[in-house]
Structure 1
Amino acid sequence: MRFTKATNYALHSMLTLVSASPAKLVGVQQLAESQGISPTYLSKILTRLVKAGMIESVSGANGGYRLSRQKDDITFLEIIHAIEGSASLFECDFVHGEECLIQAVMKEAEEKMELHLKNTKLIDLAQKQSKL
């Protein structure tokens, strides 16, 4: 199983924003440099997070991004869904008379993973990071 690099960049950007002061705007240039990627590419990823209602963009010379929700509520699963969508990771391509047993196993595993990601909040990582 593999998520796209966009999800990796989104998770790291969101961790930075969760760790930042609520009053402080974080620029796309700063976020991009910290991850070694193009600001243009990261802007496209951040736009998805804006559309998902997790962050807001403030334009202008001193503009940037900040959270638009309480940082205690943002989960890994939300961020992943904002970037990857919520389609199932595995779909059986064979026609079966009854439910595919392989599909059932894969679905159960995905549900367990999603539950873990839903229960894991970015604020928890930000707190661990600040103690390092």
Structure 2
Amino acid sequence: MKYSKATNYALHTMLYLMAATPNRPIGVQQLAERQDVSSTYLSKILTKLVKAGMVESASGANGGYRLKRDWEQISFLDIIHAIEGTASIFDCSFDHGPQCPIQRVVLEAEQQMEQHLSNQTLAALAQTFKIDL
């Protein structure tokens, strides 16, 4: 299974926002330069994080993005769902209905992976990941 590059950038952006100063807005240009990605592309990713209620934008001369909700509660899975959505990674193309044995195996594995990702927060990483933006 592979997540999109947008998820990679979202996870790193959230880590940068947490590690820098959770309450200080950081400009999209700074965040984009840090990851060597276009600010336009990163803005689209940040829009998804804003819609998910994890980040808020602040306008003005000292504007940018900052964490909106309690950053210690944000899990890897929260961020992944904000970018990728919550649809299952596997969809049986045959008309077995919910009793498809292959679908059950894949869904069980997916549930275990999601449980692991929901137990992992970026807060622990952010405490050891000090950066200057």
Q: Distance in 2 between matches of 1:77 and 1:22?
A: 19
Q: Deviations over 1:21-63 (max 9, x none)?
A: 2332111011000110000110010011001100100012221
Q: Distance in 1 between matches of 2:50 and 2:98?
A: 41
Gaps of 5+ in 2: none
Q: Distance in 2 between matches of 1:106 and 1:124?
A: 30
Q: Distance in 1 between matches of 2:98 and 2:20?
A: 51
Match of 2:17 in 1: 17
Match of 1:128 in 2: 128
TM superposition score normalised by structure 2: 0.93
1:58 correspondence with 2:61: no
Alignment of 1:1-132 (within 5 A): 1-96=1-96, 99-130=99-130
Q: Deviations over 1:53-96 (max 9, x none)?
A: 00100012221111011111000111111111000000110122
Report the secondary structure of 1:65's partner residue.
strand
Q: Percent of counterpart pairs with the same letter?
A: 63
Contact in 1 for aligned 2:23/2:67 (Cα 8 Å) = no
Report the secondary structure of 1:56's partner residue.
strand
- What is the Cα deviation at residue 97 of structure 1? 6.7
1:94 to 1:15, Cα distance in 2 relative to 1, 3 A: same
Q: Distance in 2 between matches of 1:70 and 1:20?
A: 15
May I ask how many residue pairs the two structures share in their alignment?
Answer: 130
Report the secondary structure of 2:57's partner residue.
strand
Which has the larger displacement, 50-59 or 22-31?
A: 22-31
Report the secondary structure of 1:50's partner residue.
helix
- What is the Cα deviation at residue 127 of structure 1? 2.2
Cα RMSD (Å) of the superposition? Answer: 1.3
- What is the Cα deviation at residue 98 of structure 1? 6.8
TM superposition score normalised by structure 1: 0.93
- What is the Cα deviation at residue 124 of structure 1? 1.2
Higher RCO (CA < 8 A, seq sep 6+): 2
Which has the larger displacement, 16-25 or 77-86?
A: 16-25
Q: Distance in 1 between matches of 2:72 and 2:23?
A: 16
